[in-house]
Chains A and B, each alone.
Chain A
Amino acid sequence: MVASKQDTLTVELVVTEADLWRFFGLLRQGILVTTHLPSSLQQLLLVALEIPDAYVRERIQTVFLNGKAVDDIQGASVSDGDVVTLSAAMPGLVGATLRKGGQLTNLRSSLSHRSLSTETEAVAPGKVTVKLFNLVCAELGPSFLGRGVLLPGGHFKAFLADVWPELAPACIGARIGEKPVEAAVLPESVAPGAMVRLKVGTQTR
């Protein structure tokens, strides 16, 4: 990932492992990834997001680019502002049709991503929103949160409004920038318009 030029508020939290799932909703809503774009979707997953190749091939069975199902992640090109969604294999006939490749893709042809040439686009830093769903969220979420994820401040503020009254007492440590803060004051420290880099570590009480 390349560094963002925009100023961000860095928030570091430490919670118990049992409470980490409470942050997964943020990952489903979408994190921002800054990288050089356009790039292939495969490049984004393997390099920018550091997801192991075997995991991409085997576990991530349902991929959307701007809401369209992707069959060829190598051929799909990601540009600034795009939204990428990653999911495991899904149940149901429709779940099966949405999988990458497979025999049922024709059932959702109007929803299929078509690769468009981006050869004329100059490569430059940009942002992609990445959403993690279901098992992919549960499995990749802890490492993503541990490394730190970039979020729109509004999402984080809404999350805090929803979850923090319950979660704050269980928070073992909180820092904004380099400065330790009381968990209780966190919601008022985040402006909706800001970007937030959130790191969440775990510790046994």
Chain B
Amino acid sequence: MDKILRIDMGASGGPAIRTEALGDYAGLGGRGMTSAIVAKEVPPTCHPLGTENKLIIAPGLLSGSAAVQSGRISVGCKSPLTGGIKEANSGGQGAQVLARLGYAAIVLEGKPADDTLYKMHITKDGVTIEADNSLKMLGNYDLVDKMKAAYGDQIACISIGPAGEMKMASATVAFTDPEVRPTRHAGRGGVGAVMGAKGVKVIVLDDTGCKMRAPADPEKFKAANKEFTAGLKKHPVCGQGLPTYGTNVLTGVINEAGAYPTLNFATGRFEGFEKISGEALAELENSRGGEGAATHGCHRGCVMKCSGTFYDKNGNFLTKQPEYETVWAHGGNCGISDLDAIALLDRLDDDFGLDTIEMGATIGVAMEAGIAKFGDVEAAIRLVKEVGQGTPLGRILGAGAAVTGQAFGIEHVPVVKGQAMPAYDPRAVQGVAVTYATSPMGADHTAGYAVTANILGVGGTVDPLKPEGQVELSRNLQIATAAIDATGMCVFIAFAILDQPETFQALLDLISGFTGKPMTGDDVTALGKQILTWERDFNKAAGFNAAHDRLPGYFKREALAPHNVVFAVKDEELDQVFNW
């Protein structure tokens, strides 16, 4: 992983390929790499779909090695959804394969003069790019089938669906899983629209003949990997809860807490939660059977296996196990309690290349606007299909919740910086809402996720009795998460490294065994702060200020049942989150 692949899509005579040394970007991976390049090379005030924006695809620092859970890949750009910097990350095989091919990043630059669509093919022997307009408006599933027919089934694909081609602000970049299905997505912020603007439909990766990336200190790396794996497997969340039920196990608990946004964030509990709970989903998947039913990893080298495979009533593959956020977005948020319908909506989103959170939130807003009734399954499916087909209504919905709210005159639009909130009502869990409000990414549940006792200590001692404790916690969590996102590690490792100091130490040893450089908790903190500083500076130069680090006003005004709480963190406190 010692080079960067740059393709100038606007070069005269067609796309121009060049490979560069890492230079200033040496030692960076994942979100560290994408945010560094965007911050340094993209004019903050440019149009996100214009020639000056760049799309960066970067595997994590440890991706392509034997390190477990190291299969996350970051996609960065100026976001067409938020207007600020964006890093969206994904599982799937893309990170491992791209890293083994030796690339620390692919950077798509410029913009074609016309609407020609291109496909790229990257192997150990080099890179080719060619026009292929036969791919136009193909869904991700048909597209990947076509690539398998052309290049064999030992490939990994990075692609966009029709939503990306139509440059919708909720469009994703899809990554194939170990079964070469386009089930994994860099979902947030409209990164797929930027790939569409670059005219790139698919990047086909084939690492045949490539070796696994070798650590600098093999003995230390091997021992740390073993210790780290054991730590994950013995942990009750990483080793038991997630493999058994997946992330959707949260539905029952969040609903019970009264923090489950229901009917477009109107209330905190959903009457039909039991039918769409993680337990019900796992029971349904297990009863239908099939390979990888309720337990499946999104990439090779995953030991947690928090995903699964959803087969329909007839035993045919439909989609991967819908995650908690997807089940919430298309389920409780829209008053829908039918798992088969939610799985179908997930499949449609994946095929069209749409962010499930943004689409579910958008349909919730549309339902409040009277476009459809809450709980109307057929209407929800029809609306997503309209987005995929690009009808006039579909174009509005595909632009996201904020635009849909504007188009239909709705105040209740649960967004921050234009990005829809995920599956936790900010009035109920106010510390997390601090992260929703202040993250440079817009409302994002993963922005403040990585929790370790060490990091909490490094970032400043937190007094749980003081109200500002949640601001300090959010700061520390955002710092730690930014650093984890740079490693390519799945954020779900957070629980094991929070509870088990020896597992956190194993992670540090794993990284230093791989790089050959010592790593401490302080180094992790410094990296996280650096990344956040790049991102905040970019947003500031793009026109963002403190007023953008706020939740919509109605969250302060309208109490959430059943606990009748409003968001009560003061603006002055929010302004202290990045005051380090």
Contact = CB atoms under 8 A, between A and B. Distances in A.
Contacts of B473: 104, 106-107
B250 A111 contact: no
A107 B241 contact: no
A7 to B, nearest CB: 28
Interface string B262-293: 00000000000010011110010000000000
Contacts of A62: 253
B250 A97 contact: no
A108 B258 contact: no
Contact of B250 (A64, A85, A92, A137): A92
B565 interface: yes
Interface string A59-95: 1011010011100000000000000010111111111
A90 B250 contact: yes
A96 interface: yes
Contacts of B568: 110
A94 B259 contact: yes
Size class of the B contact interface (CB-based, 8 Å): 35 or more
Interface stretch (B102-110, B369-377, B422-430, B549-557): B422-430
A96 B306 CA distance: 17
A102 to B, nearest CB: 9
Given A87-B252, A87-B253, A137-B279, A92 B430 contact: no
- Give chain A's interface secondary structure class: helix
Given A67-B257, A91-B249, A93-B477, A107 B429 contact: yes
Given A28-B274, A94-B432, A97-B429, A106 B259 contact: no
A184 interface: no
B259 A134 contact: no
A162 to B, nearest CB: 9
B260 to A, nearest CB: 10
A89 B249 CA distance: 10
Contact of B241 (A22, A28, A109, A135): A135
B277 A98 contact: no
Nearest to A62: B253
A192 interface: no
A113 B201 CA distance: 52
A93 to B, nearest CB: 5
B83 to A, nearest CB: 26
Contact of B242 (A91, A94, A133): A91
A108 B428 contact: yes
Nearest to A21: B283
Given A90-B237, A91-B242, A97-B429, A107 B253 contact: no
A41 to B, nearest CB: 15
Contacts of B249: 90-91, 134
Nearest to A96: B451
B80 to A, nearest CB: 27
A28 B431 contact: no
Contacts of A24: 279, 283
Interface string A121-143: 00000000001011101100000
Contacts of B494: 93, 96
A62 B495 CA distance: 14
B259 A111 contact: yes
Nearest to A93: B449
Given A90-B250, A92-B324, A106 B464 contact: yes
A98 B492 CA distance: 16
Contacts of B82: none
Given A28-B274, A85-B256, A91-B241, A96 B431 contact: no
Nearest to B463: A106
A105 interface: yes
Nearest to B235: A89
Interface centre among B252, B280, B430, B498 (most CB of A within 10 A): B252
Interface in B417-473: 424, 427-432, 445, 448-449, 451, 453, 456, 462, 464-465, 469-470, 473
A29 interface: yes
Contact of A93 (B256, B306, B448, B565): B448
Given A67-B563, A87-B252, A134-B245, 11 more contacts: A25-B279, A28-B252, A59-B236, A61-B236, A89-B236, A93-B449, A98-B253, A103-B456, A104-B451, A105-B464, A107-B470
25 contacts: A25-B274, A28-B274, A88-B236, A89-B236, A89-B241, A91-B241, A91-B247, A91-B249, A91-B306, A93-B451, A93-B494, A95-B250, A96-B451, A96-B498, A103-B462, A104-B431, A106-B464, A107-B431, A109-B470, A111-B428, A111-B563, A134-B252, A135-B236, A137-B279, A138-B244
**Pairs of residues from A and B, 5 with the lowest C-beta to C-beta distance, nearest first:** A107-B431, A106-B464, A106-B469, A133-B252, A110-B565
